[in-house]
């Protein structure tokens, strides 16, 4: 009670957050997975087939990778975070899915054997512009690490680095998916296109969420030819809890 009154996020007091119907452990100082990020996880799951190689960059607690594995497992799941506390937390959350968690800077700690083999690369990288970090609610500003929030001058520095190397790690036809904001989406789309990915954006008004999805062109140059429909995430689990997934309003943004 005292810690909550002192402004600690509820999830840090409880030690867990609900994400896509899962209970995700969230240690002190680790980014709390947001409800809007379920939109990213659901899109990533829609591109994931059993046995797929899934890479969750900037994984934090590992919530996104855990949700994808829960919806589509078994998958070969890798996750990376630069923050040792986040990597430790993700190891616990991804153990059941057999996920391998690597500590380090973006692609740097990954085994070279993964190059060109990733089917789904998902990244909820920090995307708040430096000048806007001070405007965040105190729960985030004071209790989540700055490195989890600050995306540089225009908020897109880490997205640029993720997109720049993505084609080298994706298999032909593989997808990169990142969360961004509605106001930043056109620039994120542009970053994807400049790095050889075929981009589109999707938004959910209900979750106030925006995701940019980029395909590494397949040999036939028709990356959308086999695009699967977006389905509800973790439907079996939801059904058991009697919750109904309503379709999201999707539309193209900025490209
Ligand atoms: C916005 S949080 C998202 C965490 C998690 N994906 C989620 O959605 O709950 C961003 C995460 O990126 C990590 N991060 C920041 N810079 C990084 C880098 N260069 N390499 C790897 N991880 C990084 C932070 O430590 C933080 O855990």
Question: Looking at the predicted structure, is the pLDDT value of residue 19 above 70?
Answer: yes
Fold adopted by 2-240:
Rossmann fold (3.40.50)
Question: Which residue in this structure is represented by tokens 């980029």?
Answer: 214
> Of 219 and 212, which is predicted with more confidence?
212
Q: How far is the CA of 133 from the centre of ligand 1 (A)?
A: 15
Helix axes 157-169 and 185-194, enclosed angle (nearest 10): 40
Q: How far is the CA of 187 from the centre of ligand 1 (A)?
A: 20
Q: Length of the chain in residues, anyone?
A: 255
Question: Looking at the predicted structure, is the pLDDT value of residue 143 above 90?
Answer: no
Mean pLDDT of the 62-68 span: 98
Q: How far is the CA of 225 from the centre of ligand 1 (A)?
A: 32
Q: pLDDT tens, 97-136?
A: 999 999 999 999 999 999 999 999 999 999 999 999 999 9
Q: What residues contact 76, with CB distance under 8 A and at least 6 apart?
A: 51, 52, 53, 54
**Ligand 1, pocket residues at CB < 6 Å:** 31, 33, 37, 58-61, 63-64, 80-83, 86, 105-106, 124-126, 147-148, 158
Mean pLDDT of the 22-28 span: 97
**Residue 217 per-residue DSSP state:** P
Q: How far apart are CA 170 and CA 134, in angstroms?
A: 35
Domains of the chain, by residue range, sit at: 2-240
Question: Which residue in this structure is represented by tokens 């919750």?
Answer: 243
Report pLDDT for 245: 30
Helix (H, G, I), strand (E, B) or coil at 144: coil
Q: How far is the CA of 181 from the centre of ligand 1 (A)?
A: 16
Residue 228 pLDDT level (bands cut at 50, 70, 90): low
Q: How far apart are CA 120 and CA 76, in angstroms?
A: 10
CA of 33, closest atom in ligand 1: 9
Using CA positions, which residue lies closest to atom 9 of ligand 1?
33
């Amino acid at each position: 009670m005292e810690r909550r009154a002192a402004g600690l996020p509820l999830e840090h007091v409880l030690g867990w957050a609900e994400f896509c119907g899962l209970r995700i452990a969230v240690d002190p100082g680790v980014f709390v997975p947001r409800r809007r990020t379920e939109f990213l996880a659901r899109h990533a799951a829609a591109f994931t087939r059993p046995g797929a190689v899934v890479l969750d960059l900037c994984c934090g607690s590992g919530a996104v990778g855990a949700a994808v594995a829960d919806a589509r497992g078994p998958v070969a799941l890798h996750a990376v975070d630069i923050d040792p506390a986040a990597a430790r937390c993700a190891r616990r959350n991804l153990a059941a899915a057999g996920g391998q968690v690597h500590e380090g800077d973006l692609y740097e700690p990954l085994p070279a054997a993964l190059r060109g083999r990733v089917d789904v690369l998902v990244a909820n990288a920090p995307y708040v512009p430096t000048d806007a970090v001070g405007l965040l609610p105190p729960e985030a500003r004071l209790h989540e690490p700055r490195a989890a929030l600050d995306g540089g001058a225009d908020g897109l520095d880490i997205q640029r680095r993720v997109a720049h190397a993505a084609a080298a790690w994706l298999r032909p036809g593989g997808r990169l998916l990142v969360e961004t904001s509605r106001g930043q989406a056109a620039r994120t789309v542009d970053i994807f296109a400049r790095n050889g990915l075929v981009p589109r954006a999707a938004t959910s008004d209900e979750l106030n969420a925006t995701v940019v999805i980029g395909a590494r062109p397949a040999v036939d140059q028709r990356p959308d030819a086999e695009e699967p429909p977006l389905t509800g995430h973790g439907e079996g689990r939801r059904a058991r809890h009697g919750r109904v997934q309503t379709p999201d309003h999707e539309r193209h943004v900025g490209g």
